[in-house]
């Protein structure tokens, strides 16, 4: 004769419990909570009765049957290791388009001509050498170059910095026009990558909110995907970030920030102000002029808010969203919130190191980045 001491309500309500039935023939099974355990079992079980030994035996048999089914279902679920829900977040610069490979050098030469600097012309070898020497810092590229060939005679020595900024301003305008033209191609394989994601039911989110090129230019790049492909992706701009739940909390639009968040912001501002004050005192003692950039933390916060908004719109947990980044900024934001990140190298980041990234790849398709490879990997 068997009797059971296990309450059927516990596993149904979500508690892990073992059914400790006393039996002389065999050990009773262990029951684990399974989210897919049908609620109808509760209605199908008769009420317990303590008045009859036959009734107790009947209840024990029914209970063991339910235990066996639920345990088998749970074990099967674990053994099968069902595929995880995955989402892909794509940056634009360096990911959808290798902007610097096709247009940066040409944009510099257009800027030189616009400013009447006929003596300045960057060939591919000159451009590559400047990138290597400056480690990609465009201001340093210009300083190194003009220190080598001589600064324009029309530019006073004390205005060299202003001259460099004017060149970079013209260069950006020229690059924007080049990128928005139809002649600039997307990265090879990116269209197939998005199509494969769509076939596999993987949400694709394209991030434009923190792009240095601005949303107008990045939008023109995305439009190169075509209307059909654009209809399958979600584009996250600044407005979308502000409307997201996290964006409303952080930026204080629509939902008030918590007291802890407000205090954290004030502490960060105070720390930045104190750094600036100390730096100015030291500079005054050394008769130097300094200006510490205190905007980097705010910019990183904007990246983090964009990544969280991307996960929110994809309706996928943060740890199952994979950022495909084109540079250090996105990788740093992903590291801050423990989001998986794959960096796609471009001509601008060919020599850079990305220690925080889960992987660094050279492109889409073939032996590089594919949806099938991403689905085979556990990201959480």
pLDDT recorded at residue 320: 94
Residue 261 inside a domain? The answer is no
Rounded to whole angstroms, the Cα distance separating 73 from 96 reads 43
Residues 218 and 125 in one domain: no
Number of compact structural domains in the chain:
3
Residue 193 lies in a domain: yes
Residues 6 or more apart in contact with residue 41 via CB below 8 angstroms: 8, 12, 66, 70
The CA distances from residue 363 to 65, 94, 193, 278, 368, in Å, are 54, 10, 10, 45, 6
On whether both 233 and 324 belong to a single domain, the answer is yes
Tell me, yes or no, whether 194 and 169 share the same domain.
no
| 239 and 105 in a common domain | no
Shared-domain flag, residues 91 and 129: no
Rounded Cα distance between 98 and 190, Å, is: 11
Residue 247 shares a structural domain with residue 322: yes
Residue 270 domain-assigned (yes or no): no
pLDDT value of residue 204: 98
Check whether residue 210 and residue 349 sit in a common domain: yes
Q: Say which CATH number the domain at 372 has.
A: 3.40.50.1000
- Assess if residue 286 is contained within a domain: no
pLDDT at 280: 55
- The pLDDT value given to residue 379: 77
pLDDT at 325: 95
Task: Determine, yes or no, domain membership for 252.
Answer: yes
Residue 237: which region, alpha, beta or left (left: phi > 0; alpha: psi -120 to 50)?
beta
What is the span of the domain harbouring residue 32?
A: 9-80
For residue 271, is it within any domain?
A: no
Task: Using the 3D structure, point to which of 180, 213, 245 is the last residue of a domain.
Answer: 180
Distances (CA, A) of 379 to 84, 88, 322, 369: 9, 12, 8, 15
For residue 275, the model assigns a pLDDT of 59
pLDDT digit string (tens) for the chain, length 380 residues: 444 444 333 433 333 344 444 444 444 433 333 333 344 333 333 433 444 444 444 444 344 444 444 444 444 444 455 556 899 999 999 999 988 777 888 999 999 999 999 889 999 899 888 988 887 789 999 999 999 999 998 888 889 999 999 999 999 999 888 888 877 889 999 999 999 999 999 999 999 999 888 888 899 999 999 999 999 999 999 999 999 999 888 876 554 445 555 556 655 666 666 556 555 555 555 544 333 344 466 788 899 999 999 999 999 999 999 999 998 889 999 999 999 999 999 877 877 889 999 999 999 998 899 999 999 888 76
Checking DSSP bridges between strand 204-207 and strand 87-90, what pairing results, if any? parallel
93, 140: one domain = no
pLDDT for residue 261: 57
Residue 284 lies in a domain: no
What 3-state DSSP class applies to 307? helix
């Amino acid at each position: 004769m068997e009797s059971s001491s296990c309450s059927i309500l516990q596993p149904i309500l979500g508690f892990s419990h073992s059914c400790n039935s006393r039996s002389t023939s065999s050990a009773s099974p262990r029951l684990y909570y399974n989210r897919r355990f049908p609620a109808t079992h509760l209605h199908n079980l008769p009420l317990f009765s303590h008045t009859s030994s036959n009734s107790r035996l009947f209840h024990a048999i029914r209970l063991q049957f339910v235990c066996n089914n639920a345990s088998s279902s749970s074990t099967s679920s674990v053994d099968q290791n069902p595929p995880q829900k995955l989402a892909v977040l794509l940056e634009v610069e360096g990911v959808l388009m290798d902007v610097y490979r096709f247009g940066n050098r040409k944009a510099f030469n257009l800027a030189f001509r616009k400013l009447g600097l006929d003596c300045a012309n960057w060939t591919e070898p000159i451009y590559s050498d400047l990138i290597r020497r400056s480690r990609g810092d465009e201001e340093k590229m210009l300083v190194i170059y003009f220190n080598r060939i001589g600064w324009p005679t029309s530019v006073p020595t004390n205005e060299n910095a202003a001259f460099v900024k004017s060149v970079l301003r013209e260069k950006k305008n020229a690059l924007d026009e080049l990128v928005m033209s139809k002649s600039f191609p997307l990265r090879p394989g990116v269209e197939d990558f998005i199509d494969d994601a769509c076939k596999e039911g993987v949400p694709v989110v394209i991030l434009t909110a923190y792009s240095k090129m601005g949303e107008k230019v990045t939008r023109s790049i995305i439009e190169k995907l075509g209307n059909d492909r654009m209809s399958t992706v979600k584009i996250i701009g600044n407005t979308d970030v502000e409307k997201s739940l996290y964006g409303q909390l952080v930026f204080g639009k629509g939902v008030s920030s918590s007291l802890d968040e407000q205090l954290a912001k004030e502490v960060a501002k105070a720390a930045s102000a104190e750094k600036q004050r100390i730096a100015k005192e030291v500079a005054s003692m050394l008769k130097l002029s300094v200006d510490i950039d205190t905007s980097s933390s705010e910019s990183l916060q904007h990246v983090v808010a964009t990544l969280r908004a991307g996960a929110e719109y994809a309706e996928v947990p943060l740890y199952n969203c994979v950022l495909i980044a084109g540079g250090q900024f996105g990788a740093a934001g992903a590291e801050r919130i423990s989001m998986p990140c794959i960096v796609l190298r471009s001509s601008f980041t060919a020599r850079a190191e990305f220690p925080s990234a889960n992987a660094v790849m050279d492109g889409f398709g073939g032996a590089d980045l594919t949806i099938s490879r991403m689905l085979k990997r556990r990201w959480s």
